[in-house]
Structure 1
Amino acid sequence: MWEITLVLSALACPSLGAPQDAVAPTPAQIIFQNAVVNADGSFNYSFEASNGIKVEESGYVKPAIDVRAGLGEDKNEEDNGDSQVIQGSFSYTAPDGTPINLKFIADETGFHPEGAHLPTPPPIPGAIQRALSVLPDATSEPPPQ
């Protein structure tokens, strides 16, 4: 009995190691590409591929202004917390055929994408909205005691 198991497993192993996708996809070709990087940290980058992918990005360095220390863009401070601001967009076709278009901006406050395919939160139910409207404003001053 163990001989049959050994023979069957020996025959099955090569088929398990075979590639599952016999047709290799054709690599995408770059149709257009442009990149400009400046000494001040600003840049502009874009490309388009033969499979429909399009990408555009641009960015610049935003000088930080430290009000407490009097530091700003006119001061020569080595590490004043400058931040990079990048904005751009990309588009492609999802595997199910849906066109995906996304615009974004990324800065010191984070990454902020916009696109019709992104999920949105459900609306706040009316009862919760009414309860929130009667709560005191957290930004207002506390009542005198």
Structure 2
Amino acid sequence: MRCLTCFLLAWAAAAAVPRRPDPEILHRRRAEAANAQILQQQTVKTEDGSYSLSFRTDNGIVQKETGTSFPGTLPESGTYVKEGVIEYVLDDGTPITLLYVADENGFEILNPDALQQVLPTPPPTEYPLPKVPGAGMPVPEPLPQFNVGLFRVGGTVSPQERL
């Protein structure tokens, strides 16, 4: 019975480990991505400097972006606010949609939960954190004084004064 339990636990642990996609499938998908054809593309520019663009490819990539121009008080100054969405399919077939904004504060993903699916995660550590003796113990107040009689204000004590 103990062997059966160990086998079932090992089988369940192996089934829970995420599997890497087959290398042949990855190679095929990457080759398709390299040869992807643009199915739809649209770009619109306005006189005030704003724009919108979008495209869609045959391998499932979709991007839409709008940019709004905010002119500055001086020539060649000002800023853009860009907002958009990128949609694509991961190697394992999972669809991802990322919403973003880029402005004077930088580039920001508006749905970070979707970004967590894309970013790699470090492997779990195999070793426990070290235990430090005395960590978390209160520090005595005041600290103990050692060799109080060896020093005085203004200089050291002579050997005769120690006795």
TM-score relative to the length of structure 1: 0.53
Give matches, 1:42-81, under 5 Å.
42-64=50-72, 72=73, 77-79=74-76, 81=77
Amino acid at match of 1:101: T
| 1:24 shift after superposition | 8.3
Q: Does 1:96 align with 2:102?
A: no
Give matches, 1:1-145, under 5 Å.
25-26=31-32, 27-64=35-72, 72=73, 77-79=74-76, 81-115=77-111, 116-119=113-116
Gaps of 5+ in 2: 1-26, 117-163
- Corresponding residue number in structure 1 for 2:19: none
Query: Could you say which structure has the greater relative contact order, defined with CA pairs below 8 angstroms and 6 or more residues apart?
Result: 1
CA contact (8 A) 2:42 2:53 kept: yes
Three-state SS of the structure 2 residue aligned to 1:40 is: coil
Q: Structure 1 residues 108, 25: closer, same or farther in 2, change over 3 A? A: same
Gaps of 5+ in 1: 1-20, 65-71, 120-145
Amino acid at match of 1:60: T
Identity of aligned residues (%): 36
| 1:61 shift after superposition | 1.2
| Cα distance in 2, alignment partners of residues 22 and 103 from structure 1 | 28
| Cα distance in 2, alignment partners of residues 23 and 87 from structure 1 | 29
Three-state SS of the structure 1 residue aligned to 2:31 is: coil
After superposing on structure 2, the runs of 4+ consecutive aligned residues of structure 1 that deviate more than 4 Å are: 21-24
CA contact (8 A) 2:29 2:91 kept: no
Question: Please, what is the CA RMSD of the aligned residues?
Answer: 2.4
TM-score relative to the length of structure 2: 0.47
| Cα distance in 2, alignment partners of residues 60 and 46 from structure 1 | 15
| 1:118 shift after superposition | 2.0
| Cα distance in 2, alignment partners of residues 118 and 97 from structure 1 | 16
Three-state SS of the structure 1 residue aligned to 2:92 is: coil
